[in-house]
Copies of this chain bind each other. A is one copy, B any other.
């Protein structure tokens, strides 16, 4: 019984040394019972030469599956050593249609055509050509063509016979789909039901017609939401005529869920495009520049606001706590916005509860604000700043915290109302606005007290 092995750095170093000694046999023995996901992890930590070396030691089927475990960049490098013929017969024919399509879509245009023409299994080739026609971020781009399909007019004996035939081409049987004579999806059939039924019963009478399907043009995030909401492991995909064209399994959708969560995280961190640390310097710069420019604009506005109070005599002393007030306004705003954004993402906030949310947020802000303002009052008194300044800072902090919390709560709710992604509100935008308004409150209070 093989089990999940942690690919630790010792094992990885061992293999690395064996590669430098060119000990093919020993390496093959050592990696023979590794899962393809583990081999993928191993290869990711290697130099490209080592990766090539290890890759060519694998048998056809394993090497094809390992390719699906590594990132696009490395996959392209590993494939670059193979001829179109090898890609077609050794890689593509060993992959299910969705993975095969992903690999082919990453090839250059000429190579793509060449590889497609060299695939020996005609059905596989036409499945891939079909899948290539759908945009990557739709149900069509996620689905695979391999599935088990029976006609509603068959009886269960015929059905089992047909299934045996189809099953040899399908690696995992998730669900049996039932279609009518027009190839329209009419239901599903559970294997359990089939096993419990007499052999002469017609499928039509035992099928489950309460099925959830998804149109081929539906967006990938919507597919993820629907599968997640209804707890589905696999979902059938239909075209505009309700014909069954493919199926999407949950493992392909988990990546979409993860990417979605990462997008919110990046938004909160001030990154506008979906970048990875392996992207080019220019891509990384471009993804980060927009928010920096907003920050820049905020800074200039901040300078102008301070300018409004310039002739004011106690100005110098006030300047000391500009960073404190600005930072706290930003921090509180982001905290409040993040809680709302998550609530919206999880559907736990409804419009009729907004007033309740605001009241609660006000409570939290007052509590945090009073604690923080007492602490800052004590700290500044101990550090022997003037009493008026201490009171000004303490009062301003309380006001800024309350104001930033309300603003941080309202902004994402407003964005959501106008169908704009509320996560926008958690990034530098809210920090910047709260910075500026916090400064204004601070100087106003300072002017009154000092």
Contacts and interface: CB of A to CB of B under 8 A. Distances in A.
B332 A303 contact: no
Given A289-B371, A292-B372, A323 B302 contact: yes
Contacts of A258: 257, 261
A132 interface: no
A269 interface: yes
Interface string A245-271: 000011100100110011011101111
B364 A291 contact: no
Contacts of A83: none
Contact of A328 (B186, B292, B328, B380): B292
Q: Tell me how many chains of this kind the complex includes.
A: 2
Contacts of A20: none
B330 A37 contact: no
Interface string A105-145: 00000000000000000000000000000000000000000
Would you call the interface of chain A mostly helix, strand, loop, or mixed?
A: helix
Interface string A153-166: 00000001001100
Nearest to A253: B254
A59 to B, nearest CB: 15
A49 interface: no
A322 B325 contact: no
A231 B281 CA distance: 32
Contacts of A206: none
A354 to B, nearest CB: 11
A185 B304 CA distance: 72
B348 A296 contact: no
A113 B162 CA distance: 51
A51 B392 CA distance: 49
Given A229-B37, A300-B324, A331 B383 contact: no
A426 B269 CA distance: 8
A268 B271 contact: no
Given A1-B210, A316-B315, A357-B277, A339 B435 contact: no
A195 interface: yes
Interface in A316-350: 316, 319-328, 330-332, 334-335, 337-340, 342-343, 346-350
A254 B271 contact: no
Interface of A: 1-4, 33, 35, 37, 41, 44-45, 71, 160, 163-164, 167-168, 170, 172-173, 185-187, 190-192, 195-196, 209-213, 226, 228-231, 233, 249-251, 254, 257-258, 261-262, 264-266, 268-271, 275-278, 281-282, 284-285, 288-289, 291-293, 295-296, 298-300, 302-304, 306-307, 310, 315-316, 319-328, 330-332, 334-335, 337-340, 342-343, 346-350, 352, 357, 360, 363-364, 367-368, 371-372, 375-376, 379-380, 383, 385, 401, 426, 428, 431-432, 435-436, 439
